[in-house]
């Protein structure tokens, strides 16, 4: 265990999916240190990693062992981890982390929830947002949905994104895309 492991545990508890580049920005640590530490946490079974292809950077996330450690250290209310990760969704996941980094850097972020298991308790399965967050001093939650142009599937002549947004609007959630 290294001095910054608590900071890394807290980061993965909140951001879920993080590249070395993102970890350097979030934690403000030296690139060499972060690269080595992430690799060691992977080698010791606290983190898993996946890459989109042989030339892309690794995306790191908690294993069961890492999620249990984060919960023991108080970073998570209960253990959370990712069992399996498809390389196809890595761009989507790192885009969520990029958004989270930017909104955190603004100084206005009060709360952030991204773990799908937690969000599924509140939303129907086909309506689970990518994240929900609160701004400081504002009462309601905002929902985050990251969608590439042309990605949304169509059912009954309506894109799944439009259907999702209509449902969010009916339920009076604030939505940010």
Instruction: For 6-30, write each residue's pLDDT tens digit.
Output: 899 999 999 999 999 999 999 998 9
Report pLDDT digits (tens) over 57-95. Answer: 999 999 999 999 999 999 999 999 999 899 999 999 999
Whole-prediction pTM value?
0.84
Q: At what angle do helices 64-72 and 5-15 cross, to 10 degrees?
A: 110
**Quick check: 87 and 50 in contact, CB under 8 A?**
yes
Sequence-distant (6+) residues with CB within 8 A of 125 are none
- Regarding predicted confidence, which is higher, 157 or 33? 33
- For residue 37, how far is the Cα from the chain centroid? 20
């Amino acid at each position: 265990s290294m001095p910054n492991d608590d900071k890394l545990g807290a980061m993965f508890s909140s951001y879920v999916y993080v590249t070395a580049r993102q970890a350097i920005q979030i934690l403000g640590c030296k690139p060499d240190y972060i690269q080595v530490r992430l690799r060691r946490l992977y080698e010791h079974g606290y983190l898993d990693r996946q890459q989109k292809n042989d030339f892309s950077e690794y995306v790191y996330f908690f294993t069961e062992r890492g999620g249990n450690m984060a919960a023991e250290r108080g970073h998570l209310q209960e253990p959370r981890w990712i069992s399996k990760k498809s390389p196809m969704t890595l761009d989507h996941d790192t885009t969520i982390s990029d958004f989270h980094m930017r909104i955190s850097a603004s100084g206005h972020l009060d709360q952030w929830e991204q773990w799908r298991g937690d969000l599924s308790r509140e939303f129907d399965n086909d309506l689970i947002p990518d994240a929900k967050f609160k701004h400081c001093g504002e009462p309601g939650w905002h929902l985050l949905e990251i969608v590439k142009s042309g990605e949304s599937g169509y059912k009954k002549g309506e894109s799944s994104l439009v259907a999702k947004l209509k449902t969010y609007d009916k339920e009076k959630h604030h939505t940010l895309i």
